[in-house]
Amino acid sequence: MAARAGVQLRVPAEEVSKHDLSELPGNAVLGTDPNDPTDLALVLGGDGTILSTMRRFAGRRVPVFAINFGTIGFLATADREDLDAGIDRALRGDFDVLALPALTVAHGSEEHLAVNDVSFHRRPDMRVAELGYSVVGEELGEVRCDGLVVATPAGSTGYNLANGGPVLAWGVEGYVVSFIAPHTLTARALVVAPDDVLQVVNRSGEEPVDLSTDGRSVCTVAPHERVEVRFRHDMAFLAQAPGASFYHRLREKFGRLSF
């Protein structure tokens, strides 16, 4: 299908290894560098694979066209049942492109990127975490909890929603902070303006907390260490069927929600 459309395929080395592809089609080459010239990223997988691809091409204006081979597939452009039609649409360029924000997390000299969410978790064998948080330098509080989630609009329907946090429609400028099992009745989710920087401090006496981006553990935050989270505009680019609606997608994937 790609050969007929005159499209050259670049297949990442990890996919060749994972699927034991001993031979690539004549119009395909091994592509390991995300900086290689790329017009479109075609994904066959679930939300985890889609997020990984978005991070791979972050900031490069490469649209990600995803066909859902996972469970929910909230970010998918087409469903598995429409595989052939979906690939044909992708190769013809018959789609709209939606720019999505991301979050960057600064921890010491390291910086990590998240398209969906950043989460802080107490370790399973540790006591409850004590997390302090502030926005633009204004201390907002300290919460005893199992963790804290910072989500983009695209990620607000994931871990944040499970915490009772609000759903942010795609296109909303800002991000949301919510808590995992807070040991207080006053901890409430907070929607933060896009240019306001969030700081989270591990105020636990001796216990470190784990830090994850898009569900992947990336580092450990030691007691008294501070982490900075920033909103980044237009970092990921998602292909959508023409005329697709966020609200239709929300109802289709989650059913009729009661808020």
Clarify whether residues 107 and 216 are in a common domain.
yes
Domain that holds residue 156: 102-233
Written as six digits, the tokens of 123 are: 């370790």
Q: Is 47 a catalytic residue?
A: yes
Asked, for residue 1, whether it belongs to a domain, the answer is no
Clarify whether residues 48 and 65 are in a common domain.
yes
- The pLDDT, as a whole number, for residue 228 is 98
Asked, for residue 34, whether it belongs to a domain, the answer is yes
Helix (H, G, I), strand (E, B) or coil at 74: coil
Cα first-last separation, the chain: 44
- The pLDDT, as a whole number, for residue 180 is 97
Clarify whether residues 40 and 56 are in a common domain.
yes
Asked, for residue 259, whether it belongs to a domain, the answer is no
Choose among 93, 73, 114, 89: nearest CA to 217. 114
Asked, for residue 158, whether it belongs to a domain, the answer is yes
* Sign of the Cα pseudo-torsion (253, 104, 40, 63, in order): positive
Asked, for residue 4, whether it belongs to a domain, the answer is no
Clarify whether residues 227 and 130 are in a common domain.
yes
- The pLDDT, as a whole number, for residue 124 is 86
Digit-coded pLDDT (tens) for 26-45: 555 556 566 778 899 999 99
CA–CA separation, 213 and 113 (whole Å): 7
Clarify whether residues 115 and 227 are in a common domain.
yes
Asked, for residue 166, whether it belongs to a domain, the answer is yes
Clarify whether residues 34 and 62 are in a common domain.
yes
Asked, for residue 3, whether it belongs to a domain, the answer is no
| Count of structural domains, the chain | 2
Clarify whether residues 181 and 191 are in a common domain.
yes
- The pLDDT, as a whole number, for residue 32 is 57
Clarify whether residues 113 and 228 are in a common domain.
yes
User: What's the CATH code of the domain at 53?
Assistant: 3.40.50.10330
Choose among 6, 13, 19: nearest CA to 45. 19
CB atoms within 10 A of CB 18: 9
Q: Which residues of the chain have pLDDT under 50?
A: none
Q: Which of 20, 36, 47, 117 is catalytic?
A: 47
Clarify whether residues 175 and 216 are in a common domain.
yes
Asked, for residue 169, whether it belongs to a domain, the answer is yes
User: What's the CATH code of the domain at 124?
Assistant: 2.60.200.30
Clarify whether residues 141 and 250 are in a common domain.
no
- Give the strand pairing for 64-68 and 78-79: parallel
